[in-house]
Amino acid sequence: MKFGAGFSLGAMPDAAAVRDFAQTLDGAGFDYVTVGGHLLSVEANRYPERPNPTYVGPFHEPFVLFSYLAAITRRLAFRPSILILPMFQTAVVAKQAAELSFLSGGRFELGIGISWNPTEYQAMNQEMRTRGRRMEEQVEVLRRLWTEPFVSFEGRWHKLDRVGLNRLPGAPIPIWFGTGTDEAVLRRVAKLADGWIPLGDAADAMPKLQQYLREAGRDPAAFGLTARFVATHEGPAAWVESGKRLQDLGATHISITAPPDLAGPQALAQMVAAKVVLAGELG
């Protein structure tokens, strides 16, 4: 089992807070840290059906943030959760990810998704309607760019003529999909992803996903699942009970968050305490 934590959707107050958060996780033995991949913000209450933090920000830029954190930590791995891949040029993402993996000593994984926010797609001059199919092609191109010095490829959205990164990552960069639980989406995850970051409760969807993985000729036991865990005020016994449920579900990674009434150092201390307890019980 690997344990991680995430930066809040809104940016931290200053660079010192960012540094202290990451270095505390690093020193406490956390395995990874995540950050949301929204690029642009809009005014509060523009989308009343959605929580303001999911679109108001301000948001950290994942590649810049993780490059900084790689220089000031020793063990933490880094993963956007998630980068809205169809908004970006694939070759740029491939280059940034490979460079970050190189500079961090392989401590980078790419979490991707398609998002719901039309204003970001519009601002990036990208079509939203085809974002799912485009992301499938992007994943194929990314993996080829990370494993072949020079690539020739022609698809619907990409044309590469013997071009490439030339300096490849030491190992292929894992790609995690952050998605909902619709059948078409789960089949895409089973076909293409190295791991799944479910948006919501994965309990009902996991048997279906495992079936789709087997149908795709893949071993469910070798597939990653990141589960979300809230370090509630109920304390260690409740934490262990919840953690074991996630482990039984098939979780390979647990992302720990604090209760919503805690912030700053108190929230961080609660997350560290929960990680110590869970690591002792779940391994």
225-255 per-position pLDDT tens digit: 999 999 999 999 999 999 999 999 999 999 9
Cβ contact 228:196 at 8 Å:
no
Cis check for the bond before 58: say yes or no (omega within 30 of 0): yes
Residue 39 phi, psi (nearest 5): -100, -45
Which amino acid type is present at position 32? Y
Report pLDDT for 37: 86
CATH number, position 169: 3.20.20.30
d(CA 37, CA 146): 21
Domain count of the chain?
1
Phi-psi region of 3 (alpha: psi -120 to 50; beta: other; left: phi over 0): beta
Condensed to tens digits (0 to 9), the pLDDT of residues 6-38 reads 987 666 788 999 999 999 999 999 999 999 989
Query: CA nearest 6: which of 78, 70, 67?
Result: 78
Cβ contact 177:197 at 8 Å:
yes
Q: Is 12 helix (H, G, I), strand (E, B) or coil?
A: coil
- Retrieve residue 151's tokens: 């690539």
Q: What letter would DSSP give residue 205?
A: T
- Retrieve residue 178's tokens: 């952050």
Query: Is the four-CA dihedral 283, 76, 242, 201 of positive or negative sign?
Result: negative
Cis check for the bond before 175: say yes or no (omega within 30 of 0): no
Tell me the mean pLDDT in the region 273-280: 97
Average pLDDT, the chain: 95
Domain boundaries, position 221: 2-282
Q: Give me the helices (H) in the chain, please.
A: 15-27, 62-72, 90-104, 118-123, 131-147, 183-192, 206-215, 236-249, 264-282
Under 8 Å CB-to-CB from 185, ≥6 apart: which residues? 132, 179
Under 8 Å CB-to-CB from 199, ≥6 apart: which residues? 178, 179, 180, 181
Report pLDDT for 150: 98
Please give the distance of CA 178 from its chain centroid, rounded to a whole number: 7
Residue matched to tokens 């293409």 = 192
Q: pTM to 2 decimals?
A: 0.95
Residue 224 has pLDDT above 70, yes or no: yes
